[in-house]
Amino acid sequence: MSKKQYLKRFEDFLSEQESENNESLAIDYEEDKQKWLAKIDEFYELVQEYIHGYLEQGKIGEEWKTLQLQEDHFGEYEVKQLILKIGKKRLIFKPVGRFIVGCQGRIDLISDLGSVRFLLVPKDFDEPSTFFLGHFTPQTQWLWKIASRPPKVSYLEITEETFFQALMEVVNA
């Protein structure tokens, strides 16, 4: 490759970076943060749907806490953290962040004995994929899914069955 072609390629790269930077300036991060907070609420609504009967029976206790997160584009902000109490066990649903590689957000389910990752990914994804946000449209449907453990990561749709399997995994039962 001649020097001029090499420089041309580098200058094209610089132009792309400048263009991407200008596009990122157009992103409304406050709106994006509000959408992320709404997705966290949707996740908790799903959890509440599955455990509602057990909460009413007193077999599961719940506690809500406020957690501070810090992310580059959002700064410091507050999210809700759900803690389930089952006997002496505490299961914590902890939002990790919106800007996570390979997804649109992550919430971890944590106990003393293990953890499970819930990721916000496109509805049709069943495993990690290299993607760029520019490839998605406003019509892209994003769903919370359970991510299996590495090295062979796959995404499992959250159903009542898979949700309770995840709970059992973190209590090591």
What does the pLDDT look like over 37-71, one tens digit per residue?
Answer: 999 999 999 999 999 999 999 999 999 999 999 99
pLDDT of 4:
81
What global pTM score does this model have?
0.81
Residue 43 has which token pair? 């996740």
Q: What span, in angstroms and rounded, lies between the C-alpha atoms of 20 and 141?
A: 24
H/E element, 70: strand 61-71
H/E element, 93: strand 89-97
Q: What span, in angstroms and rounded, lies between the C-alpha atoms of 36 and 72?
A: 14
Q: What span, in angstroms and rounded, lies between the C-alpha atoms of 130 and 117?
A: 19
Residue 108 has which token pair? 């971890």
pLDDT band with cut points at 50, 70 and 90 for residue 111: very high
